[in-house]
């Protein structure tokens, strides 16, 4: 980097609107030899992250948050007046210097800390800094920034320190990251990137009703490089959109192949980073690619991780809502793993909530996890937001999630992410346990009941509030009527339902089925008809069980597809 580089810079073409600082994108255009920024053994890069920036936003609103960032930018420009100061997006800043010694850096950080106290407005803010001092051997400029950020990520988790220098240990740990930074472009050209698909299963049917696209980097030297490494690196060097837009293209192309082959296909969700929305016009790319391959919009779903949504930028709210308005679903990923899960739910509208796999791991192990999952599901039902649990590895986890009414499940129990070729291509959904796409709406409506509520048949819009507990004592079953055969089928029943019949001396639900219309008796057909004609009402039906026991049932119509209809039943003893 030239000592006089600030003077060489004429009119910067790209300034950050909020702070007036240089943007990272602009810095990237100023690299030697086409620009003045050149790496020498004197170069130092500082990466700043305001740790509890959310608390400023929360207390003083977006404008208060913006004011804090402007003040920080101003103080930085004064304290590092001979250096390049840039905003790297959100609450991240960068200083590039060619003159500061390590001791001087530490002194300036102390000055910055002191200067920022007067802008804290009663909150205790923590600005963390990662520092990288060049050795003059870095192959790329972004390597400096990446190492400063790595150091910053380390100090983020240290309570009593606010800065850290990148050292040899960090360097060793991060050789793979460095490899990623340096070989990303080549990996693309050489087609080391590919997309794997993991099945998503509908709980009440056990059928595959979708796939999640997950990217893989198969490297000839390092083997499989996991996404948690390369996604993070690509975000830090602001190139993640290249990968994500590659995935968008690949997924649409694969869907096209399915359609051309006449095969059944299920919707595919893909992961987008918050940064994608800053780095490219996501909605436009999605719509263009959908048009390019001429596929239906509902074949593609976008997942946003909760930390990604957490910066709470107003424009992101608008962008996500535009994407939804255009007919593409938006799901919130890893719900519960970040700091602002609930805030996100309040700010944004989503089409499905993906429960973080940490909670799923606790099923059967940590009773608290079960309480938390149940509470998330109850809340989601009230918000009319379907839920999906990821990381399901055992039958026990699946059974629990199905019982509490989690609509969809994903995890190794049903299948690992695999290349598209490994999945059966069929023209008839029944041949491969795939959901018939025409039944998608039907099953979504059927699984919308709150299995945890003591009044599960109340419609969503009911005024009666019932948050739902962990164990439901109300006996519930979902019964499907197939008019072609005039037979009924139990699609789902909860534990309370089994217990209820056990208390009547019935040990197998099979023995119950004839009483619920399996043989077309008991006037149950009329009740089905009435329920369907009054979808917002609960119809009552008394079933003579034995001489002295009458069962009192309430029935609500849930969904219909052609000759099939599903009804929710709640059962108790009439005299009870
Ligand atoms: P995610 O979106 O939450 O994806 C789920 C991750 O959990 C995947 O890891 C998947 O392989 C793993 N997983 C699924 N079922 C199970 C299970 O039963 N047990 C366990 N232990 N793990 C399971 P993966 O593929 O390593 O991806 C990690 C994260 O990287 C993803 O988390 C996603 O946030 C991100 N990612 C992956 N591909 C992309 C991409 O193309 N773009 C972006 N921006 N992020 C991506
Ligand atoms: Mg995901
Ligand atoms: Mg996830």
Pocket test for ligand 1, best of 210, 214, 280 (most atoms within 8 A of CB): 214
3-state secondary structure 212-239: EEEEEEEECCCEEECHHHHHHHHHHCCC
Q: What is the pLDDT of residues 56-68, one digit of tens each?
A: 888 888 899 999 9
Model confidence band, residue 294 (pLDDT cutoffs 50, 70, 90): very high
> Residue 380: how many CB atoms within 10 A of its CB?
23
pLDDT on residue 19: 92
Average pLDDT over residues 283-306: 95
Number of domains in the chain: 3
Burial of 567 (0-12, 13-18, 19+ CB in 10 A): buried
Residues 534 and 559 in one domain: yes
User: Are the C-beta atoms of 543 and 517 separated by less than 8 Å?
Assistant: no
The Å distance, Cα 388 to ligand 2 centre, comes to: 11
| CA dist., res. 213 & res. 206, Å (int) | 20
Residues 326 and 360 in one domain: yes
Give the ligand 1 atom nearest the CA of 334. 3
Give, in order, the Cα–Cα distances in Å from 444 to each of 196, 449, 527.
26, 10, 23
Q: What is the pLDDT of residues 247-268, one digit of tens each?
A: 999 999 999 999 999 999 999 9
Phi, psi of 491 (to 5 degrees): -85, -30
CB proximity list for 251: less than 8 A, separation 6 or greater: 195, 213, 268, 270, 300
> Which of 435, 468, 483 is a domain's end point?
435
The Å distance, Cα 387 to ligand 2 centre, comes to: 13
Residue 17's Cβ-side half-sphere holds a number of Cα atoms within 13 Å equal to 0
> Which of 110, 145, 166 is a domain's end point?
166
Between 254 and 523, the more confident residue is 254
% of the chain exceeding 70 in pLDDT: 92
Residues 195 and 151 in one domain: no
Model confidence band, residue 54 (pLDDT cutoffs 50, 70, 90): confident
The Å distance, Cα 424 to ligand 2 centre, comes to: 23
Residue 55 falls inside a structural domain: yes
Structural domain of 547? 456-573
Average pLDDT over residues 335-343: 80
Query: Helix %, strand %, coil % for the chain, to 5?
Result: 40, 25, 35
> Could you give the 3-state DSSP secondary structure of residue 5?
helix
Encoding tokens for residue 274? 């918050």
Q: Residue 564 belongs to a domain with what CATH number?
A: 3.30.450
Give, in order, the Cα–Cα distances in Å from 572 to each of 161, 162, 335, 541.
61, 62, 36, 11
Region of residue 238 (left: phi > 0; alpha: psi -120 to 50; beta: else): left
User: Are the C-beta atoms of 414 and 201 separated by less than 8 Å?
Assistant: yes
pLDDT on residue 8: 45
pLDDT on residue 11: 47
Model confidence band, residue 513 (pLDDT cutoffs 50, 70, 90): confident
Checking if the pLDDT of 170 tops 90, the result is no
Give the ligand 1 atom nearest the CA of 305. 34
Residue 92 falls inside a structural domain: yes
Phi, psi of 85 (to 5 degrees): -115, 130
Q: Residue 273 CA: which ligand is closest?
A: 1
Phi, psi of 214 (to 5 degrees): -130, 130
The Å distance, Cα 390 to ligand 3 centre, comes to: 7
| CA dist., res. 19 & res. 73, Å (int) | 6
DSSP secondary structure of 351-405: SEEEEPHHHHHTTTT-HHHHHHHHHHHHHHHHTT--EEE----SHHHHHHHHHTT
Residues 370 and 336 in one domain: yes
Q: Out of 344-353, 520-529, 531-540, 541-550, which region has the weakest mean confidence (pLDDT)?
A: 520-529
Average pLDDT over residues 506-518: 81
% of the chain exceeding 90 in pLDDT: 56
| CA dist., res. 98 & res. 419, Å (int) | 47
Residues 253 and 359 in one domain: yes
User: Are the C-beta atoms of 129 and 107 separated by less than 8 Å?
Assistant: no
Residues 203 and 338 in one domain: yes
Give, in order, the Cα–Cα distances in Å from 198 to each of 148, 271, 327, 361, 498.
35, 13, 23, 18, 33
Residues 192 and 142 in one domain: no
Residues with CB under 5 A from ligand 3 (ion): 333-334
Q: Residue 378 belongs to a domain with what CATH number?
A: 3.20.20.450
Residues 466 and 507 in one domain: yes
């Amino acid at each position: 980097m030239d000592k006089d580089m600030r003077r060489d810079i004429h009119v910067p073409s790209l300034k950050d609107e909020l702070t007036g600082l240089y943007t990272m994108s602009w810095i990237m255009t100023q690299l030697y030899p086409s620009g003045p920024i050149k790496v020498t053994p004197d170069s130092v890069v500082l990466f700043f992250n305001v740790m509890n920036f959310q608390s400023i936003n929360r207390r003083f609103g977006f404008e208060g948050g913006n004011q804090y960032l402007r003040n920080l930018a101003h103080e930085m420009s004064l304290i590092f007046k001979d250096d390049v100061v840039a905003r790297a997006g959100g609450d991240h800043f960068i200083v590039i210097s060619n003159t500061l010694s390590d001791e001087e850096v530490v002194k300036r950080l102390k000055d910055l800390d002191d200067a920022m106290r007067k802008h804290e407005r009663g909150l205790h803010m923590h600005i963390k800094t990662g520092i990288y001092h060049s050795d003059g051997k870095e192959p790329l400029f972004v390597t400096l920034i990446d190492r400063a950020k790595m150091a910053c990520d380390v100090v983020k988790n240290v309570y009593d320190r606010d800065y850290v220098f990148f050292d040899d240990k960090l360097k060793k740990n991060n050789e793979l990251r460095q490899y990623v930074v340096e070989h990303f472009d080549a990996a693309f050209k050489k087609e080391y990137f590919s997309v794997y698909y993991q099945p998503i299963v509908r709980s009440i049917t056990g059928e595959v009703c979708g796939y999640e696209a997950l990217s893989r980097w198969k490297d000839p030297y390092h083997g499989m490089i996991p996404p948690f490494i390369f996604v993070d690196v690509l975000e830090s060097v602001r190139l993640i959109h290249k990968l994500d837009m590659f995935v968008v293209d690949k997924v649409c192309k694969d869907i096209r192949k399915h359609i051309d082959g006449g095969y059944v296909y299920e919707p595919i969700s893909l992961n987008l980073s918050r940064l994608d929305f800053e780095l490219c016009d996501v909605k436009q790319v999605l719509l263009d690619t959908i048009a390019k391959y001429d596929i239906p919009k509902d074949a593609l779903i976008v997942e946003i991780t909760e930390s990604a949504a957490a910066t709470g930028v107003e424009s992101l709210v608008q962008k996500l809502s535009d994407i939804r308005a255009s007919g593409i679903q938006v799901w919130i990923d890893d719900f519960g793993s970040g700091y602002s899960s609930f805030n996100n739910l309040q700010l944004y509208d989503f089409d499905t909530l993906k429960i973080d796999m940490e909670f799923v791991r606790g099923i059967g192990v940590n009773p608290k996890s079960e309480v938390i999952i149940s509470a998330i599901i109850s809340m989601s039902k009230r918000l009319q937001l379907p839920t999906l649990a990821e990381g399901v590895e055992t039958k026990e986890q699946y059974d629990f999630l199905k019982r509490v009414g989690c609509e969809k499940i994903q995890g190794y129990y049903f299948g690992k992410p695999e290349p598209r070729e490994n999945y059966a291509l069929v023209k008839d959904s029944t041949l491969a346990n795939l959901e018939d796409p025409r039944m998608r709406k039907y099953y979504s409506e059927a699984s919308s009941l709150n299995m945890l509520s003591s009044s599960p048949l109340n419609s969503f819009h009911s005024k009666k509030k019932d948050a739902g507990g962990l164990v439901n004592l109300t006996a519930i079953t979902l019964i499907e009527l197939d008019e072609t055969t005039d037979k009924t089928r139990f699609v789902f029943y909860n534990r309370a339902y089994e217990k209820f019949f056990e208390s009547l001396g019935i040990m197998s639900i099979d023995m119950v089925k004839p009483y619920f219309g399996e043989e077309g008796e008991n006037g149950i057909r009329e009740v089905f008809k009435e329920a369907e004609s009054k979808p917002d009402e609960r119809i009552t039906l008394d079933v003579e069980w034995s001489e002295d026991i009458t069962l009192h049932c309430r029935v609500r119509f849930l969904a219909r597809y052609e000759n099939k209809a599903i009804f929710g039943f709640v059962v108790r003893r009439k005299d009870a």
